[in-house]
Structure 1
């Protein structure tokens, strides 16, 4: 998968997570939801860019790999 396609898929996945978590954590008041979901949606492209173009996925995976110091 090309970098741009991976970026778009990652961005869409992050947007979906923001909407689900925002709807779950905030009351059904639209203004309150905008206070949480709005900034998160503005931050999502930067996070997607870091994950795809700056090898963020590899860095996160390295955090969870077990050390072989036996």
Structure 2
């Protein structure tokens, strides 16, 4: 099972969902979302990965990064 499939199968979205992942899967999650700031939450990383974002979205008006979805 790939990381994305496993993330889709995790039903809970509370602060403890990432305990279901192995160390290797956590490293892969960090690598796939390395464009996010280091202090980004695991839930934000999961959302970015599952929605297929490949970079930080920029505000079309001010040009600042949009980190909340």
| TM class, shorter-length | under 0.3
More strand by share: 2
More helix by share: 1
Q: Return the structure number with greater relative CO, CA threshold 8 A, min gap 6.
A: 1
When normalised by structure 2's length, the TM-score is 0.25
For normalisation by structure 1, the TM-score amounts to 0.24
Q: Radius of gyration: which is bigger? A: 1
